[in-house]
Amino acid sequence: MKFPHNDIISLLDERLELNLAESTNQDLVLREIWDASFAESLIDLKLEYGTSAGNEQLRSLLATKLDVHKNDLVITNGAVFGIFLSILCLCKEGDEVLTVQPNFPPTMDLIDGLGFKKKILKLSFEENYQLNEELLFDSISANTKLIILVTPLNPTGTVLEKDQIEDIANRLEEEYPNCTLLVDETYREATYGNHSVYPTCSGLKSNIVTISSLSKCHGTPGLRIGWLCSTNSSFLQDVKTAKMNTVISNSVLDEFVALQVLKRESDIFRTRRIHAAEGLRRMEEWIKRNENWIEWIKPQAGALCCVKLRESAFDEDQISAFYSKTRQAGIQIANGTWFGESHRIFRLGFGYLSIDKLDKSLIKLTEIVSEIVS
Protein backbone atom coordinates (compact mmCIF):
# COMPACT_ATOMS: atom_id res chain seq x y z
CA MET A 1 0.00 0.00 0.00
CA LYS A 2 1.46 3.32 -1.09
CA PHE A 3 -0.47 6.53 -1.56
CA PRO A 4 0.49 8.96 -4.35
CA HIS A 5 1.86 12.33 -3.31
CA ASN A 6 -0.39 15.33 -3.92
CA ASP A 7 0.54 18.94 -3.23
CA ILE A 8 -2.82 19.51 -1.55
CA ILE A 9 -0.97 18.44 1.61
CA SER A 10 0.33 22.02 1.66
CA LEU A 11 -3.10 23.12 2.93
CA LEU A 12 -2.29 21.35 6.19
CA ASP A 13 1.33 22.37 6.50
CA GLU A 14 1.52 25.87 5.03
CA ARG A 15 -1.11 28.50 5.72
CA LEU A 16 -0.70 31.86 4.03
CA GLU A 17 -2.48 34.93 5.37
CA LEU A 18 -5.00 35.16 2.54
CA ASN A 19 -6.19 31.57 2.28
CA LEU A 20 -8.44 31.22 -0.74
CA ALA A 21 -7.49 27.55 -1.10
CA GLU A 22 -9.58 26.35 1.84
CA SER A 23 -12.90 24.73 0.99
CA THR A 24 -14.70 24.86 4.35
CA ASN A 25 -17.04 27.38 5.85
CA GLN A 26 -15.52 29.55 8.59
CA ASP A 27 -13.94 27.54 11.41
CA LEU A 28 -16.15 27.05 14.43
CA VAL A 29 -14.73 28.34 17.72
CA LEU A 30 -15.66 26.40 20.88
CA ARG A 31 -16.99 29.61 22.40
CA GLU A 32 -19.88 29.48 19.90
CA ILE A 33 -21.26 26.28 21.45
CA TRP A 34 -19.91 26.57 24.99
CA ASP A 35 -22.38 26.95 27.83
CA ALA A 36 -22.86 25.68 31.38
CA SER A 37 -24.41 22.41 30.22
CA PHE A 38 -21.52 21.79 27.79
CA ALA A 39 -18.92 22.47 30.48
CA GLU A 40 -20.67 20.35 33.09
CA SER A 41 -20.94 17.35 30.76
CA LEU A 42 -17.39 17.74 29.46
CA ILE A 43 -15.77 17.75 32.89
CA ASP A 44 -17.33 14.35 33.64
CA LEU A 45 -16.51 12.80 30.26
CA LYS A 46 -14.87 9.41 30.65
CA LEU A 47 -11.95 9.05 28.21
CA GLU A 48 -12.60 5.42 27.44
CA TYR A 49 -12.68 3.55 24.12
CA GLY A 50 -15.56 4.38 21.85
CA THR A 51 -17.73 1.72 20.21
CA SER A 52 -17.22 0.24 16.75
CA ALA A 53 -20.34 1.95 15.38
CA GLY A 54 -19.74 5.20 17.26
CA ASN A 55 -21.52 7.18 19.97
CA GLU A 56 -25.15 6.05 20.20
CA GLN A 57 -26.54 9.50 20.98
CA LEU A 58 -24.66 10.96 18.03
CA ARG A 59 -25.98 8.23 15.71
CA SER A 60 -29.52 8.73 17.03
CA LEU A 61 -29.38 12.45 16.34
CA LEU A 62 -28.00 11.84 12.86
CA ALA A 63 -30.63 9.18 12.22
CA THR A 64 -33.40 11.65 13.01
CA LYS A 65 -31.78 14.29 10.82
CA LEU A 66 -31.38 11.89 7.86
CA ASP A 67 -34.61 9.93 8.46
CA VAL A 68 -32.81 6.59 8.73
CA HIS A 69 -32.31 4.04 11.53
CA LYS A 70 -29.38 4.61 13.87
CA ASN A 71 -28.17 1.07 13.16
CA ASP A 72 -27.63 2.07 9.53
CA LEU A 73 -24.94 4.56 10.60
CA VAL A 74 -21.28 4.17 11.49
CA ILE A 75 -19.32 7.18 12.79
CA THR A 76 -16.02 7.57 10.93
CA ASN A 77 -12.85 9.60 11.26
CA GLY A 78 -14.06 12.21 8.78
CA ALA A 79 -15.76 11.50 5.46
CA VAL A 80 -12.49 10.38 3.88
CA PHE A 81 -12.21 7.46 6.30
CA GLY A 82 -15.72 6.42 5.33
CA ILE A 83 -14.56 6.33 1.71
CA PHE A 84 -11.47 4.34 2.76
CA LEU A 85 -13.57 1.79 4.62
CA SER A 86 -16.07 1.50 1.76
CA ILE A 87 -13.38 0.79 -0.84
CA LEU A 88 -11.63 -1.64 1.49
CA CYS A 89 -14.77 -3.59 2.38
CA LEU A 90 -16.54 -3.64 -0.98
CA CYS A 91 -13.63 -4.46 -3.28
CA LYS A 92 -11.26 -7.36 -3.70
CA GLU A 93 -8.17 -7.94 -5.83
CA GLY A 94 -8.83 -7.24 -9.51
CA ASP A 95 -11.90 -5.08 -8.89
CA GLU A 96 -12.40 -1.64 -10.39
CA VAL A 97 -13.49 1.58 -8.72
CA LEU A 98 -15.01 4.23 -10.97
CA THR A 99 -15.16 7.90 -10.03
CA VAL A 100 -15.26 11.32 -11.63
CA GLN A 101 -12.52 13.90 -12.19
CA PRO A 102 -11.92 16.61 -11.06
CA ASN A 103 -12.41 15.34 -7.55
CA PHE A 104 -11.13 15.60 -3.98
CA PRO A 105 -7.58 14.16 -4.24
CA PRO A 106 -7.83 11.53 -1.45
CA THR A 107 -10.96 10.11 -3.07
CA MET A 108 -8.92 9.32 -6.20
CA ASP A 109 -5.67 8.45 -4.44
CA LEU A 110 -7.26 5.98 -2.00
CA ILE A 111 -8.15 3.74 -4.93
CA ASP A 112 -4.51 3.60 -6.02
CA GLY A 113 -3.21 3.33 -2.47
CA LEU A 114 -5.44 0.35 -1.68
CA GLY A 115 -4.32 -1.38 -4.86
CA PHE A 116 -7.51 -1.42 -6.92
CA LYS A 117 -7.92 -0.41 -10.54
CA LYS A 118 -9.03 3.20 -10.87
CA LYS A 119 -11.34 4.21 -13.71
CA ILE A 120 -11.98 7.89 -14.29
CA LEU A 121 -14.90 9.65 -15.96
CA LYS A 122 -13.64 13.09 -16.92
CA LEU A 123 -15.98 16.03 -16.35
CA SER A 124 -15.26 19.24 -18.22
CA PHE A 125 -15.36 22.94 -17.44
CA GLU A 126 -16.89 23.55 -20.87
CA GLU A 127 -19.86 21.34 -19.96
CA ASN A 128 -20.26 22.91 -16.50
CA TYR A 129 -18.89 19.74 -14.90
CA GLN A 130 -22.20 17.98 -15.48
CA LEU A 131 -22.34 14.19 -15.28
CA ASN A 132 -23.39 12.37 -18.47
CA GLU A 133 -25.20 9.24 -17.30
CA GLU A 134 -24.69 7.38 -20.57
CA LEU A 135 -20.94 8.00 -20.51
CA LEU A 136 -20.92 6.81 -16.90
CA PHE A 137 -22.53 3.50 -17.84
CA ASP A 138 -20.25 3.15 -20.86
CA SER A 139 -17.36 3.21 -18.35
CA ILE A 140 -18.72 0.41 -16.17
CA SER A 141 -17.56 -3.19 -16.64
CA ALA A 142 -18.31 -6.49 -14.95
CA ASN A 143 -15.29 -5.80 -12.68
CA THR A 144 -16.62 -2.44 -11.47
CA LYS A 145 -17.60 -3.00 -7.85
CA LEU A 146 -17.86 0.59 -6.65
CA ILE A 147 -18.82 3.92 -8.19
CA ILE A 148 -18.02 7.07 -6.23
CA LEU A 149 -19.99 10.24 -7.01
CA VAL A 150 -19.80 13.51 -5.12
CA THR A 151 -22.59 16.06 -4.76
CA PRO A 152 -21.95 18.93 -4.38
CA LEU A 153 -18.65 18.21 -6.10
CA ASN A 154 -15.32 19.35 -4.70
CA PRO A 155 -13.79 21.47 -6.29
CA THR A 156 -16.66 22.73 -8.49
CA GLY A 157 -19.70 23.18 -6.26
CA THR A 158 -21.91 21.51 -8.90
CA VAL A 159 -24.79 19.27 -7.85
CA LEU A 160 -26.27 15.94 -8.91
CA GLU A 161 -30.02 15.91 -8.31
CA LYS A 162 -31.47 13.16 -6.13
CA ASP A 163 -33.66 11.90 -9.01
CA GLN A 164 -30.59 11.37 -11.17
CA ILE A 165 -28.79 9.48 -8.42
CA GLU A 166 -31.83 7.27 -7.88
CA ASP A 167 -32.03 6.60 -11.63
CA ILE A 168 -28.34 5.58 -11.67
CA ALA A 169 -28.90 3.29 -8.67
CA ASN A 170 -31.93 1.69 -10.35
CA ARG A 171 -29.97 1.03 -13.54
CA LEU A 172 -27.10 -0.47 -11.54
CA GLU A 173 -29.54 -2.75 -9.76
CA GLU A 174 -30.74 -4.08 -13.11
CA GLU A 175 -27.52 -4.08 -15.14
CA TYR A 176 -24.74 -4.43 -12.53
CA PRO A 177 -26.28 -5.87 -9.34
CA ASN A 178 -22.84 -6.47 -7.77
CA CYS A 179 -21.87 -2.80 -8.03
CA THR A 180 -22.42 -0.33 -5.19
CA LEU A 181 -22.93 3.42 -5.60
CA LEU A 182 -21.19 5.61 -3.00
CA VAL A 183 -22.50 9.18 -2.78
CA ASP A 184 -20.29 11.68 -0.96
CA GLU A 185 -22.61 14.36 0.46
CA THR A 186 -20.03 16.26 2.49
CA TYR A 187 -21.06 19.68 1.09
CA ARG A 188 -24.81 18.98 0.90
CA GLU A 189 -25.79 21.44 3.61
CA ALA A 190 -23.36 24.19 2.58
CA THR A 191 -25.97 26.41 0.95
CA TYR A 192 -26.28 30.18 0.72
CA GLY A 193 -28.55 32.34 2.86
CA ASN A 194 -32.09 30.94 2.75
CA HIS A 195 -31.48 28.56 -0.16
CA SER A 196 -33.04 25.12 0.30
CA VAL A 197 -30.78 22.28 1.36
CA TYR A 198 -30.38 19.50 -1.18
CA PRO A 199 -32.06 16.27 0.00
CA THR A 200 -29.93 13.41 1.25
CA CYS A 201 -29.68 10.07 -0.54
CA SER A 202 -29.21 8.26 2.77
CA GLY A 203 -31.48 5.22 2.98
CA LEU A 204 -32.70 5.75 -0.59
CA LYS A 205 -31.64 2.35 -2.00
CA SER A 206 -29.92 -0.76 -0.67
CA ASN A 207 -27.12 -0.36 -3.25
CA ILE A 208 -26.35 3.22 -2.16
CA VAL A 209 -23.83 4.14 0.53
CA THR A 210 -23.72 7.76 1.63
CA ILE A 211 -20.81 9.55 3.25
CA SER A 212 -20.72 12.92 4.98
CA SER A 213 -19.03 14.81 7.82
CA LEU A 214 -19.06 17.88 10.04
CA SER A 215 -15.93 19.29 8.39
CA LYS A 216 -17.17 21.56 5.61
CA CYS A 217 -20.69 22.79 6.32
CA HIS A 218 -20.28 23.12 10.10
CA GLY A 219 -16.72 24.48 9.94
CA THR A 220 -15.27 21.79 12.23
CA PRO A 221 -12.66 19.88 10.16
CA GLY A 222 -10.48 19.52 13.25
CA LEU A 223 -13.04 17.26 14.93
CA ARG A 224 -12.49 14.50 12.36
CA ILE A 225 -16.06 13.29 12.65
CA GLY A 226 -17.94 11.89 9.69
CA TRP A 227 -20.44 9.13 9.07
CA LEU A 228 -21.29 6.33 6.68
CA CYS A 229 -24.88 5.25 6.03
CA SER A 230 -26.05 1.98 4.46
CA THR A 231 -28.99 -0.40 4.80
CA ASN A 232 -26.71 -3.36 4.01
CA SER A 233 -26.12 -4.93 7.45
CA SER A 234 -23.41 -7.32 6.22
CA PHE A 235 -21.43 -4.45 4.71
CA LEU A 236 -21.81 -2.40 7.89
CA GLN A 237 -20.47 -5.27 9.97
CA ASP A 238 -17.44 -5.46 7.67
CA VAL A 239 -17.00 -1.70 8.06
CA LYS A 240 -17.06 -1.89 11.86
CA THR A 241 -14.56 -4.75 11.81
CA ALA A 242 -12.24 -2.84 9.47
CA LYS A 243 -12.60 0.29 11.59
CA MET A 244 -11.65 -1.64 14.75
CA ASN A 245 -8.60 -3.09 13.01
CA THR A 246 -7.35 0.30 11.76
CA VAL A 247 -8.28 3.01 14.29
CA ILE A 248 -10.08 0.94 17.00
CA SER A 249 -12.75 3.59 17.50
CA ASN A 250 -13.34 7.31 17.19
CA SER A 251 -12.16 9.70 19.87
CA VAL A 252 -14.89 9.93 22.51
CA LEU A 253 -13.92 13.59 22.99
CA ASP A 254 -14.46 14.33 19.30
CA GLU A 255 -17.78 12.48 19.37
CA PHE A 256 -18.88 14.44 22.45
CA VAL A 257 -18.12 17.79 20.82
CA ALA A 258 -19.74 16.62 17.57
CA LEU A 259 -22.93 15.90 19.50
CA GLN A 260 -22.94 19.46 20.87
CA VAL A 261 -22.33 20.83 17.36
CA LEU A 262 -25.28 18.92 15.92
CA LYS A 263 -27.57 20.09 18.73
CA ARG A 264 -26.72 23.69 17.81
CA GLU A 265 -26.38 23.32 14.05
CA SER A 266 -29.30 25.61 13.20
CA ASP A 267 -27.44 28.59 14.66
CA ILE A 268 -24.13 27.42 13.19
CA PHE A 269 -25.64 27.04 9.72
CA ARG A 270 -27.43 30.39 9.84
CA THR A 271 -24.27 32.41 10.41
CA ARG A 272 -22.19 30.42 7.93
CA ARG A 273 -24.80 30.46 5.18
CA ILE A 274 -25.21 34.21 5.48
CA HIS A 275 -21.43 34.57 5.30
CA ALA A 276 -21.14 32.21 2.31
CA ALA A 277 -23.91 34.03 0.48
CA GLU A 278 -22.07 37.33 0.88
CA GLY A 279 -18.82 35.70 -0.20
CA LEU A 280 -20.53 34.30 -3.29
CA ARG A 281 -21.92 37.75 -4.11
CA ARG A 282 -18.44 39.29 -3.87
CA MET A 283 -17.10 36.50 -6.09
CA GLU A 284 -19.73 37.11 -8.73
CA GLU A 285 -18.93 40.81 -8.81
CA TRP A 286 -15.19 40.10 -9.03
CA ILE A 287 -15.63 37.67 -11.91
CA LYS A 288 -17.74 40.20 -13.80
CA ARG A 289 -15.11 42.92 -13.35
CA ASN A 290 -12.40 40.62 -14.70
CA GLU A 291 -14.35 38.66 -17.30
CA ASN A 292 -11.92 39.54 -20.09
CA TRP A 293 -9.27 37.49 -18.32
CA ILE A 294 -11.09 34.85 -16.28
CA GLU A 295 -14.30 32.83 -16.24
CA TRP A 296 -15.97 30.52 -13.75
CA ILE A 297 -18.65 27.91 -13.15
CA LYS A 298 -20.99 29.41 -10.57
CA PRO A 299 -21.41 26.87 -7.75
CA GLN A 300 -24.78 25.51 -6.68
CA ALA A 301 -23.58 24.78 -3.13
CA GLY A 302 -20.38 24.72 -1.11
CA ALA A 303 -18.15 27.69 -0.29
CA LEU A 304 -15.90 26.97 -3.26
CA CYS A 305 -15.79 27.28 -7.04
CA CYS A 306 -13.58 26.72 -10.08
CA VAL A 307 -12.05 29.73 -11.85
CA LYS A 308 -10.38 29.48 -15.26
CA LEU A 309 -7.63 31.68 -16.70
CA ARG A 310 -8.83 32.30 -20.24
CA GLU A 311 -6.80 30.86 -23.12
CA SER A 312 -7.08 34.20 -24.90
CA ALA A 313 -5.35 36.00 -22.01
CA PHE A 314 -2.87 33.50 -20.49
CA ASP A 315 -0.21 31.39 -22.13
CA GLU A 316 1.77 28.74 -20.23
CA ASP A 317 4.41 31.18 -18.97
CA GLN A 318 1.74 33.59 -17.77
CA ILE A 319 -0.05 30.82 -15.88
CA SER A 320 3.20 29.99 -14.07
CA ALA A 321 3.68 33.68 -13.31
CA PHE A 322 0.14 33.84 -11.88
CA TYR A 323 0.82 31.08 -9.33
CA SER A 324 4.21 32.54 -8.45
CA LYS A 325 2.88 36.06 -7.91
CA THR A 326 -0.13 34.96 -5.84
CA ARG A 327 2.18 33.12 -3.49
CA GLN A 328 4.48 36.13 -3.22
CA ALA A 329 1.43 38.23 -2.36
CA GLY A 330 0.53 35.88 0.49
CA ILE A 331 -2.49 34.46 -1.35
CA GLN A 332 -3.07 30.71 -1.13
CA ILE A 333 -5.03 29.17 -3.99
CA ALA A 334 -5.66 25.54 -4.97
CA ASN A 335 -4.04 24.52 -8.24
CA GLY A 336 -6.40 22.58 -10.51
CA THR A 337 -3.80 19.85 -10.97
CA TRP A 338 -4.43 18.80 -7.36
CA PHE A 339 -7.90 17.67 -8.46
CA GLY A 340 -6.95 16.16 -11.81
CA GLU A 341 -7.76 19.37 -13.70
CA SER A 342 -5.65 21.68 -15.84
CA HIS A 343 -3.42 24.18 -14.02
CA ARG A 344 -5.30 26.82 -16.01
CA ILE A 345 -8.13 26.20 -13.55
CA PHE A 346 -7.93 26.75 -9.80
CA ARG A 347 -10.26 26.18 -6.87
CA LEU A 348 -11.14 29.33 -4.97
CA GLY A 349 -12.82 29.24 -1.57
CA PHE A 350 -15.01 32.23 -0.72
CA GLY A 351 -16.52 31.14 2.62
CA TYR A 352 -13.47 30.66 4.80
CA LEU A 353 -11.97 34.14 5.14
CA SER A 354 -13.65 37.16 6.68
CA ILE A 355 -15.31 39.40 4.09
CA ASP A 356 -12.60 42.04 4.64
CA LYS A 357 -9.86 39.51 3.91
CA LEU A 358 -11.79 38.10 0.97
CA ASP A 359 -12.07 41.60 -0.52
CA LYS A 360 -8.38 42.22 0.09
CA SER A 361 -7.51 38.93 -1.63
CA LEU A 362 -9.68 39.63 -4.66
CA ILE A 363 -8.24 43.13 -5.07
CA LYS A 364 -4.73 41.67 -5.01
CA LEU A 365 -5.73 38.98 -7.52
CA THR A 366 -7.04 41.66 -9.87
CA GLU A 367 -3.76 43.55 -9.60
CA ILE A 368 -1.78 40.37 -10.30
CA VAL A 369 -3.90 39.38 -13.32
CA SER A 370 -3.77 42.92 -14.71
CA GLU A 371 0.00 43.02 -14.38
CA ILE A 372 0.48 39.67 -16.10
CA VAL A 373 -1.80 40.28 -19.09
CA SER A 374 -0.89 43.91 -19.69
Q: How is the chain split into domains, by residue range?
A: 7-27+266-373, 34-263
In whole angstroms, what is the distance from residue 247 CA to residue 238 CA? 14
Q: What pLDDT does residue 27 have? A: 96
Q: What pLDDT does residue 374 have? A: 83
Q: Where are the alpha helices (DSSP H) in 47-100?
A: 56-66, 78-90
Q: Where are the alpha helices (DSSP H) in the chain?
A: 10-13, 36-43, 56-66, 78-90, 105-113, 133-138, 162-175, 233-246, 252-263, 265-289, 316-328, 355-373
CB 356 within 8 A of CB 43: no
Q: What pLDDT does residue 15 have? A: 85
Residue 17, Cβ neighbours under 10 Å: how many? 12
CATH 2.60.120.260 fits 34-263, yes or no: no
Burial class (CB in 10 A: 0-12, 13-18, 19+), 166: middle
Q: What pLDDT does residue 266 have? A: 97
Q: What pLDDT does residue 324 have? A: 97
In the predicted model, residues of the chain with pLDDT beneath 50 are none
DSSP state of 336: G
Q: pLDDT for 27-72, tens place per residue? A: 999 999 999 999 999 999 999 999 999 999 999 999 999 999 999 9
- For the entire predicted model, the pTM comes to 0.97
Report the helix count and the strand count for the chain, using DSSP H and E: 12, 13
Q: pLDDT for 128-149, tens place per residue? A: 999 999 999 999 999 999 999 9
| Neighbouring residues of 335: CB distance < 8 A, sequence distance ≥ 6 | 7, 323, 343, 346
Name the pairing type of β-strands 180-184 and 208-213: parallel
CATH class for domain 7-27+266-373?
Answer: alpha beta
CB 38 within 8 A of CB 349: no
CB 307 within 8 A of CB 368: no
Q: What percent of the chain has pLDDT over 90?
A: 97
Mean pLDDT, rounded, of the chain: 97
In which element (H, E) is residue 208 found? Answer: strand 208-213
